[in-house]
Amino acid sequence: MTAVWTPVALSRDLPCLGVMPVCVDGMDVALWRSASGRLAAWSDRCPHRGMRLSHGFVRGEALSCIYHGWSYSSQGNCLRIPAHPDLVPPEAIRVPVYYAVEVGGVVWIAPHAIDALPPTFEGVALRSLTVEAGVDWSVAGFSVSGLVARGLLAGVAVTIMIQFLPAGRMALHVLADATASPIALTKASRALEALRRQAEGIVA
C-alpha cells in the first residue's frame, strides 16, 4: 500500500486557498486546497504554455495559472480563459490529475485510483523537513517498515512518513506522541534537525 501512496505533506501545512509544489515519483505536482477545503493534486504544468501551476493562486473552488490566468476546476478541466471571456473552454483543455487523500493529518498522493487508503497513524503534526541525503535509520535507532520509520526523538515517540525525492534526497513528514508537552515537542523538533545535520554530514 505504502509503495503506491506517497506521503507528501502534513495537512496542517496546506491551509484552505493554499498551493504548494511537491514531487511524486520524480514528477512535479501542484498540491492545493480550495476555499471549501477540497484537496487536489495535479501535474505542475499549465496546459497553455507550461507555467508551473504551483505558482498560481486559488480563488473559491478553482486554481488559476499565474501567467495568463486560465483557471481550472478541482477536476482539472479548464473553466475560464480571461483573454476569451465568452468562450466555453473545450473539454480537451485539462490538467492531468493525481489522487490525493489525507488520513491522520498526512496528505498522500497516488498516480491512479487505489481501493485501499494509506495507513493511519496516531499523533500530532510535528513538522515536515527535507534532508539533502539519505538517513541511516538503524544508526538513528529507528525501525523502518515500507515508507514509515518509528522511533524516539529526544524521548518523544514519533512516526515518520518518508518521501523519497530525486538525487537521493528525502522529505520527512513527522507525527509525534499527542500526549507530549509543548516543551518536549520543541526538543523533538530540534532532535529532528540534528538527525538531518547528521545525515547531511554537517558538523554542528
Give the residues lining the site for ligand FES (CB under 6 A).
46, 48-49, 51, 65, 67-70
Q: Toward ligand FES, which CB reaches closer, 68 or 84?
A: 68
Query: For residues 202 and 16, what is the distance between their CA atoms, to the nearest angstrom?
Result: 36
| Residue of 145, 148, 141 lying closest to 195 (CA atoms) | 141
Q: 89 or 151: whose CB is closer to ligand FES?
A: 89
Kindly state the smallest distance separating residue 101's Cβ from ligand FES, in Å: 27
For 174-203, b where at least 16 C-beta lie within 10 A, e where not — what string? bbbbeebeeebbebbbebbeebbebbeeee
Q: How far is the CB of 81 from ligand FES (least distance, A)?
A: 8
C-alpha cell at 59: 480563488
> Least distance in Å: CB of 46 to ligand FES?
3
The least distance separating ligand FES from the CB of residue 19, rounded to whole angstroms, comes to: 14
Residue 46 or 106 with smaller CB distance to ligand FES:
46
Complex with ligand FES: residue 45 or 196, whichever CB lies closer: 45
Q: How far apart are CA 151 and CA 112, in angstroms?
A: 31
